[in-house]
Amino acid sequence: MALIEECEALTKAFSGIGVDEKSIISIAGKWNPVQTDSFRKGCEFFADDGHYHAFEKWDNDYVKLLELEFSRLREAVLLWTMHPWERDARMIKESLIKGPKWYGVIIEIACTRSSEELLGARKAYHSLFDRSIEEDVAHRVTDVNRNLLVALVSSYRYQGPKVHAETAKAEAKILANAIKSSGNELEKNAEVLRILTTRSKASLQAIFKHYKELYGKNIEEDLNQDDLILRDTIGSLGYPHIYFSKVLDKALNVKADEYTKDALTRVVVTRADIDMKGINEEYQKLYGISLSQKIEEITRGSYKEFLLTLVARGN
């Protein structure tokens, strides 16, 4: 294979999400020092050192990119082998450390786990960090979302199917009035917080259904576009398969930022044995392609194979 072709093949191995280890080994493993120098001069991964002009250095952005892409398989395997309680506890801790952009992970865990699973994560957090989730959320979240997040991680919802239809209809009206009157401060509305953080998921789904029947649109359509925390809360509580499908599709974009891409590992690992079949079906409806096909197209190497293995467990 000519050096130009090798460079193109290596570029392809580094593209997408994850890396194609087999191609990297077969190409780079047979180089001799002379070929390696020639490759550096013709490949976009390298640039003139900018000072001595004596060697071609790795581009710093590519170094950071490859460190992330090589680590994806390790992260996926590590999360998969953890007890689910420990996994959720550690993801919440990491999200609090990383800051506001990552609070969506906390929302996702608090809203899509069963009451017992969330309680387990809270117990694991105690054991791992000698603090409570509620304590750390209250300490680290200093914006308008603090009360909502603390209430969500503290929640222990009724898990059964019983729904009081008249109550659900009345609370759909309460939410509509709050959206109209609270404007950009909906997170401060006590009734909104009460409904979203205490009602069962079956009740909330009924409330959101009544909302659409009463007002002709989904509740998310009446929220401000930039109100991501409330959107994530309502989506993950009311329509989890749609929510996860949208999160996965955004993650399966090679141009997405790191927060968005990380959701691919997180969602596949945490939902593989829970509701992956439902997520698969919803993904197909929304995007006209199976999740497995999309992963096959976008991801690379052993990371791809591991994700496909986990997705297949739900079929």
Is 68 among the domain residues?
no
Is 69 among the domain residues?
no
Q: How many domains does the chain have?
A: 4
What is the pLDDT, as a whole number, of residue 10? 75
Domain end among 222, 237, 252: 237
What is the pLDDT, as a whole number, of residue 225? 82
The string of DSSP letters for the chain reads: --HHHHHHHHHHHHSSBS--HHHHHHHHTT--HHHHHHHHHH-TTEEE-SSS-SSEEEPHHHHHHHHHHHHHHHHHHHHHHS-HHHHHHHHHHHHHHH-GGGHHHHHHHHHHS-HHHHHHHHHHHHHHHSS-HHHHHHHH--STTHHHHHHHHH-----SS---HHHHHHHHHHHHHHHHHHGGGGGG-HHHHHHHHHS-HHHHHHHHHHHHHHHSS-GGGGS-TT-HHHHHHHHHHH-HHHHHHHHHHHHT-TTS-HHHHHHHHHHHHHHTTTTHHHHHHHHHHHHSS-HHHHHHHHB-HHHHHHHHHHHHHT-
Give yes or no: residues 209 and 191 share one domain. yes
Is 108 among the domain residues?
yes
What is the pLDDT, as a whole number, of residue 65? 79
Is 18 among the domain residues?
yes
Residues of the chain with pLDDT under 70: 1-4, 30-56, 58, 183-184
Give yes or no: residues 149 and 166 share one domain. no
What is the pLDDT, as a whole number, of residue 297? 96
Domain end among 105, 134, 156: 156
Domain end among 156, 174, 200: 156
What does the pLDDT look like over 224-266, one tens digit per residue?
Answer: 888 899 999 999 999 999 999 999 999 999 999 999 999 999 9
Give yes or no: residues 219 and 178 share one domain. yes
Is 250 among the domain residues?
yes
We report the CATH number of the domain holding residue 269 as 1.10.220.10
- Structural domain range at position 19: 3-58
What is the pLDDT, as a whole number, of residue 177? 94
Give yes or no: residues 206 and 147 share one domain. no
* pTM of structure: 0.90
Is 72 among the domain residues?
no
Is 73 among the domain residues?
no
Give yes or no: residues 140 and 168 share one domain. no
What is the pLDDT, as a whole number, of residue 111? 98
What is the pLDDT, as a whole number, of residue 227? 87
Give yes or no: residues 166 and 233 share one domain. yes
Is 246 among the domain residues?
yes
